[in-house]
Structure 1
């Protein structure tokens, strides 16, 4: 009996190792494929567009490159700062990294693009930041402006690619250029289904460096290099090893982010100032659900959250699965506020910037159904998928 049991256990182990070993390959992000880019940096003055997600295995890419005696001239800080410890929208100042003494130049806020004086001190730019695959997440816009600056000053640009946690999902309205802003700059759907490397190729290939945001005439073609993710396919699940920003603390928050972000333009809380931002919805006057929470000040994540110190009730979505961009919860709360005669779109201009159009807001106010609201962008999505096809890297 013992011999038979031992045989079964051994067979099970071998089968498990074989079957899962064949199916699950170790994904290597671009930054970890050092042999693909270190030779491009030799003897160069390097500018890094990086944050807390920029890791080479367990080591930050800054520390890794310093250990390899590479010449890092400048670190460019995006929204949330180089260390990822700033509130959403909070000012990110230029400074010096205490650990390495490398100067940090902010590209979030008033100066989204470095000057020619800054760029003339560089020979190459590396972009290595984990994105979440949603148009209003600002890292891709920082990448765009840095690509523009690189092209204008004839500085090569390297993207170390990382997976998109929203996989291949493509959904939501396209950006109407009339509503272009730093939360919506590129003419892509709200959930675009592309990695930053693929987007970089599309930005260059479609000529957007010249056509978006009144760019100065670019005389040089950008020298763009993308180091792809190794052993990765578009629908491979990928759990982010480092949080992309303070208010996306786990995979569930990232999953819900595109479906809940419109609430930022309303009086309703989505959990900023709690331990579960972007995983709850609540208000104190009208609400769906009985889940209770009270937003509080959290330094580095939500110093002054909406409805701070007020007891709220609503929905606990920590175990709810929503796919890609799902407007159903947002629509239900709109109907509740409409019935309760409470103002819903308290920041209508911001709503239109997040959506990339005023049509969603106007259609909701006009009483259209959810299906009627979604119908106009379906053909746009089909056209976008054809347009982006030449720039896709992963199957």
Structure 2
């Protein structure tokens, strides 16, 4: 975004622009992209499209702000959360959009929905012959991929297509990957890359919460793994000040953290923890569990850590999967759920995705922008 602003938006001159943005769409001085475009009519903005949590970020998980006129700019804001390709095509046509601009900070996990907002809107733009511009941002988890690859029959809005659970790509790289491998008709795509980012380095980002339950980069670091607890009846820490770092339930006890620490998992320790969520699972009830504390980001494996947590949690009567099969959507298959239920442990479970992860790593390599 800073690079585009420095050119006074030259890339968008003469176009009616539809902007897909949220509160993270800011420059180094925390000025919002849409506000800068709007001032003095520097860009002809056709409309703004708000993803999950909304354009200005006022909605909780699983919700959006709804269609409205933006209070600050007066611009039309469409509700794009869970929009299908057909919905996107209708909104683009209705608004008169000629060029789509996507600028949202991702957190690096397949089940974080903004990358599927990217995918669906790209498909619609390709069908209408629109231009698509991605303003890239670093992946806060770095550039390495981890975990299972989604099986297509388990596709949903928390995972449309076959990518790894921790994909290790920026949104610009994902857009290039989608365009080449998944879109039947490629879109006219341009990615404005970041300057100076190396994919092996965790970036020091001026963090803006991309969603209400992603308060810090530490949250993002554990999320590709502990986000799987959304598929269980244990609390994933929503309703606390440490979502996805605090995991627990009324039926757990101190032995869970003890067993996890006895495993000596790389780069992490577990603190015996007690908390009362203010909303969602076990609201106002005392939960016992563990706080995930990352000690060494270079060796920490979020997904492997969370699999070990699930295995140890399954020893308790309080442990249950959600009845709607949400864990299968999050992990991209029924494999993890089935193997945990059968008593498999971390090494056996992780071995099942080793080959598919290596294949994904090879597939994505031509579309990487940062070395």
Q: TM-score, normalised by structure 2?
A: 0.88
TM alignment of 1:204-219, pairs within 5 A: 204-206=179-181, 208-210=182-184, 218=185
Question: CA 1:205–1:76 in 2, change beyond 3 Å: closer, same or farther?
Answer: same
Q: Partners in 2 of 1:246 and 1:158 — Cα distance? A: 26
Question: CA 1:138–1:115 in 2, change beyond 3 Å: closer, same or farther?
Answer: closer
Partner of 1:238: 203
TM alignment of 1:318-329, pairs within 5 A: 318=293, 320-321=295-296, 323-329=300-306
Q: Partners in 1 of 2:122 and 2:240 — Cα distance? A: 36
Q: Partners in 1 of 2:346 and 2:212 — Cα distance? A: 31
Q: Are 1:77 and 2:50 an aligned pair? A: yes
Q: Are the aligned partners of 1:92 and 1:108 in contact in 2 as well (CA < 8 Å)?
A: no
- Larger mean Cα displacement after TM superposition, 164-173 or 281-290: 281-290
Question: CA 1:372–1:34 in 2, change beyond 3 Å: closer, same or farther?
Answer: same
Question: CA 1:110–1:197 in 2, change beyond 3 Å: closer, same or farther?
Answer: closer
Q: TM-score, normalised by structure 1?
A: 0.83
Q: Are 1:49 and 2:12 an aligned pair? A: no
Q: Partners in 1 of 2:83 and 2:190 — Cα distance? A: 28
Cα displacement string for residues 62-105 of structure 1 (whole angstroms, at most 9, x for unaligned residues):
11111252111100010111112211112441111011000001
Question: CA 1:387–1:275 in 2, change beyond 3 Å: closer, same or farther?
Answer: same
Q: Are 1:286 and 2:252 an aligned pair? A: yes
Partner of 2:367: 391
Partner of 2:267: none
1:72 is paired with a residue whose SS is: strand
Q: Are 1:60 and 2:32 an aligned pair? A: yes
TM alignment of 1:329-368, pairs within 5 A: 329-338=306-315, 340-347=316-323, 349-368=325-344
2:48 is paired with a residue whose SS is: strand
Deviation at 1:166, TM superposition (A): 0.9
Partner of 1:90: 63
* Structural RMSD (CA): 1.9
Question: CA 1:336–1:245 in 2, change beyond 3 Å: closer, same or farther?
Answer: closer
Question: CA 1:248–1:112 in 2, change beyond 3 Å: closer, same or farther?
Answer: farther
1:134 is paired with a residue whose SS is: coil
Question: CA 1:190–1:37 in 2, change beyond 3 Å: closer, same or farther?
Answer: farther
* Structure 1 alignment gaps of length 5 or more: 1-29, 211-217, 297-303
Pick from 279, 292, 297 the counterpart of residue 317 of structure 1: 292
Deviation at 1:111, TM superposition (A): 4.8
Q: Partners in 2 of 1:56 and 1:382 — Cα distance? A: 35
Deviation at 1:129, TM superposition (A): 0.4
2:55 is paired with a residue whose SS is: coil
Deviation at 1:44, TM superposition (A): 1.5
Partner of 1:180: 155
Partner of 1:248: 214
Q: Are the aligned partners of 2:84 and 2:120 in contact in 1 as well (CA < 8 Å)?
A: no
Which structure has the bigger radius of gyration?
A: 1
Question: CA 1:172–1:90 in 2, change beyond 3 Å: closer, same or farther?
Answer: same
Q: How many residues align?
A: 348
Deviation at 1:335, TM superposition (A): 3.4
Partner of 1:6: none
Q: Are the aligned partners of 2:133 and 2:192 in contact in 1 as well (CA < 8 Å)?
A: yes
* Structure 2 alignment gaps of length 5 or more: 258-271
Q: Are the aligned partners of 1:156 and 1:224 in contact in 2 as well (CA < 8 Å)?
A: yes
Q: Partners in 2 of 1:279 and 1:343 — Cα distance? A: 18
Deviation at 1:329, TM superposition (A): 4.4
TM alignment of 1:160-179, pairs within 5 A: 160-179=135-154
